[in-house]
């Protein structure tokens, strides 16, 4: 817990970024294992990169429609698998069983949250991450720095804890938390100098801003 609102700093890809992120003090650190991403971490490098976080932050691997081989290669290096592709509820449940890790399902929110569709995953996941829909021409399903109308989340009956994500930064965080009722938030682009280049000062400012927020009543 960072204070009022839990934080995941996502898209860390170098030891220096991990050290700076740990200094900022978020609850979760995210590592993207997706070759097209400017934040990509090779599966073989993940254990060394995540090691300094053990006991200081929970480590989250972000995967997109992973096959069993990739699940097996990354699971030992992290605490959580965040599934950011088109995984079905059945596939998510299979990954949870196979990996023995907590599993989160990322969900792109459009005009309104389809609670029934989201809750179809409830038996298989520990948490949801609500993100913006990627722009039509986007190369990535996440990490696009795009926000959605966070008020769409307020008061909805989601059956698992959830994280607000998409286009956040230290300035937009407070209003987005107030509109959505979020108790946890995720950021990537909003704490970067350029895609994949994390800023120590922006990460620290984001976590500090989150600490000042009151936990919201969704
Ligand atoms: O960040 C990526 O490059 C990425 C690539 C493929 C799938 C997911 C990815 N990111 C997932 C995240 O959890 C991001 O933090 C989330 O989408 C918010 O990103 P941003 O809008 O840039 O803050």
* Position 20 in a domain: yes
Find out whether 44 and 147 touch, Cβ atoms under 8 Å.
no
DSSP code per residue over 166-215: SS--TTTHHHHHHHHT-SEEEESGGGEEETTEE-HHHHHHHHHHHHTSPP
Mean per-residue pLDDT over the chain, rounded:
95
Domain that holds residue 125: 6-211
Q: Which pLDDT tens digit goes with each residue over 116-158?
A: 889 999 999 999 999 999 999 999 999 999 999 999 999 889 9
pLDDT at 31 over 70: yes
Task: Write out residues with Cβ below 6 Å of ligand 1.
Answer: 10-11, 30, 32, 34, 37, 39, 62, 64, 84, 131, 140-146, 165-168, 186-190
Identify the pLDDT of residue 1: 45
Q: How many angstroms is it from 131 CA to the middle of ligand 1? A: 8
* Position 217 in a domain: no
The domain total for the chain is 1
Q: How many angstroms is it from 176 CA to the middle of ligand 1? A: 17
Find out whether 84 and 91 touch, Cβ atoms under 8 Å.
no
| Ligand 1 atom nearest 146 alpha carbon | 21
Phi, psi values for residue 97, rounded to 5°: -65, -45
List the beta strands (DSSP E) in 1-86.
6-9, 28-32, 58-63, 80-83
Q: How many angstroms is it from 188 CA to the middle of ligand 1? A: 6
Tokens of 216: 């919201």
* Position 218 in a domain: no
* Position 114 in a domain: yes
Exposure pattern of 114-128 as b/e (b: 16+ CB <10 Å)? eeeebbbbeebbebb
* Position 216 in a domain: no
CATH of the domain at 37: 3.20.20.70
Identify the pLDDT of residue 218: 44
pLDDT at 215 over 50: yes
Average pLDDT of the segment spanning 61-65: 98
* Position 1 in a domain: no
Identify the pLDDT of residue 217: 55
The residue whose C-alpha atom lies closest to atom 19 belonging to ligand 1 is 143
What distance separates the 2 farthest-apart alpha carbons in the chain? Answer: 42
Q: How many angstroms is it from 163 CA to the middle of ligand 1? A: 13
* Position 126 in a domain: yes
Most informative mutation of 6, 9, 11, 210 for ligand 1 (most atoms within 8 A of CB): 11
Q: How far apart, in whole angstroms, are the C-alpha atoms of residue 31 and residue 60?
A: 6
Q: State the complex-level ipTM.
A: 0.98
Q: Which pLDDT tens digit goes with each residue over 166-208?
A: 999 999 999 999 999 999 999 999 999 999 999 999 999 999 9
Better-predicted residue by pLDDT, 1 or 208: 208
């Amino acid at each position: 817990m960072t204070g009022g609102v839990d934080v995941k700093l996502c898209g860390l890809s170098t030891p220096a970024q991990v050290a700076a992120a740990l200094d900022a003090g978020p609850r979760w650190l995210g590592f993207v294992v997706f070759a097209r991403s400017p934040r990509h971490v090779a599966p073989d490098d993940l254990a060394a990169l995540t090691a300094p976080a053990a006991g200081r932050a929970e480590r989250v691997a972000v995967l997109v429609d992973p096959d069993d081989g990739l699940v097996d290669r990354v699971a030992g290096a992290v605490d959580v698998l965040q599934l950011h592709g088109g995984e079905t509820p059945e596939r998510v449940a299979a990954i949870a069983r196979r990996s023995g890790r907590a599993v989160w399902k990322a969900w792109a929110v459009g005009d309104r949250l389809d609670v029934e569709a989201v809750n179809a995953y409830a038996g298989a996941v520990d948490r949801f991450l609500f993100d913006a829909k990627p722009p039509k021409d986007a190369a990535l399903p996440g990490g696009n720095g795009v926000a959605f109308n966070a008020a769409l989340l307020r008061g909805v009956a989601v059956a698992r804890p959830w994280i607000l994500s998409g286009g956040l930064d230290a300035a937009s965080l407070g209003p987005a938390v107030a509109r959505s009722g979020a108790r946890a938030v995720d950021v990537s682009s909003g704490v970067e100098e350029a895609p994949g280049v994390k800023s120590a000062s922006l990460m620290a400012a984001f976590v500090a801003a989150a600490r000042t927020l009151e936990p919201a009543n969704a």
